[in-house]
Amino acid sequence: MNILIHEKTVRRNAKIGQYTTIASVLILAGGMYISIAQPTLIYVSFAALLFGFVLSQIGIYFGNRWGRHPRIDERLTTTLKGLTKDYTLYHYLTPTNHLLVGPAGIWVIEPYYQRGTITYVGKKWKQTGGGLMLAYLKIFAQEGLGRPDIEVNTDIENVTKSLKKALGEEQPLPPVNAVLTFTDNRAVMQADNAPNPTIKIDQLKELLRKTAKQSPLSASEIKRITSALPTESVD
């Protein structure tokens, strides 16, 4: 398997996570100090605490993705190790953060860090379970689940538009697939009826191999698709 990555993006976003986290701690501390030392400046204290909290969430977002080792790109690379050389895995080089092209087709890989029970009911995603610890993590240490359906559809649309623009409309484009991949082993999936496969990260390779056996993308199509994508990593 070929691995291509935009290292500059990784370094930049890791620094953003570090700086915003440090800034949030300082601002939160300042807000607490003002509330104690200058009770009459309650609005200043409140504004500082609110701004510090917002910065802390930004720091969590960037820290989860680019500040921890193994990073998600490293996890995906390790998980998919062993796929044939016909596959190319792109990290931060395409309209979606993680894109795989190979015999299994074109795949947008959407990683999630959330734990608890992940359900898809009535066209809605829910994250439940975990008790007070999960509630704490969602507020202070872990971003919420959000709207995976919107994120996935947006990335599929962006990748499709980009490939069609590069390849032209003369030949049909193979479908762009998507998979929701949860990296926390404590996550429990109850989303068999979800519009896209929703699995744990250690199930990803098997999904791809199964898809490649059932409806493989030809070598000529793989070459055509990869010709429209970056050919090397960016330092």
In this prediction, what percent of the chain has a pLDDT beyond 70? 94
pLDDT at 33 over 70: yes
Overall pTM surpassing 0.85 (yes/no): yes
pLDDT at 114 (0 to 100): 86
Q: How many domains does the chain have?
A: 2
pLDDT at 170 (0 to 100): 82
How far apart CA 8 and CA 12 sit, in angstroms, is: 6
Query: Do 142 and 169 belong together in one domain?
Result: yes
Digit-coded pLDDT (tens) for 99-131:
999 999 999 999 998 888 999 988 889 888 755
pLDDT at 136 over 50: no
Query: Do 185 and 98 belong together in one domain?
Result: yes
How far apart CA 30 and CA 32 sit, in angstroms, is: 5
pLDDT at 19 (0 to 100): 96
How far apart CA 201 and CA 112 sit, in angstroms, is: 9
Domain that holds residue 180: 72-227
Calculate ∠ Cα 142-179-148, nearest 5°: 45
Query: Do 58 and 108 belong together in one domain?
Result: no
Query: Do 30 and 84 belong together in one domain?
Result: no
Query: Do 22 and 106 belong together in one domain?
Result: no
Residues linked to residue 100 through DSSP beta bridges, in sequence order = 89, 107
Digit-coded pLDDT (tens) for 181-216:
999 888 999 999 999 999 999 999 999 999 999 999
Contacts with 187 (C-beta within 8 Å, 6 or more apart), sequence order: 112, 114, 115, 116, 117, 118, 200
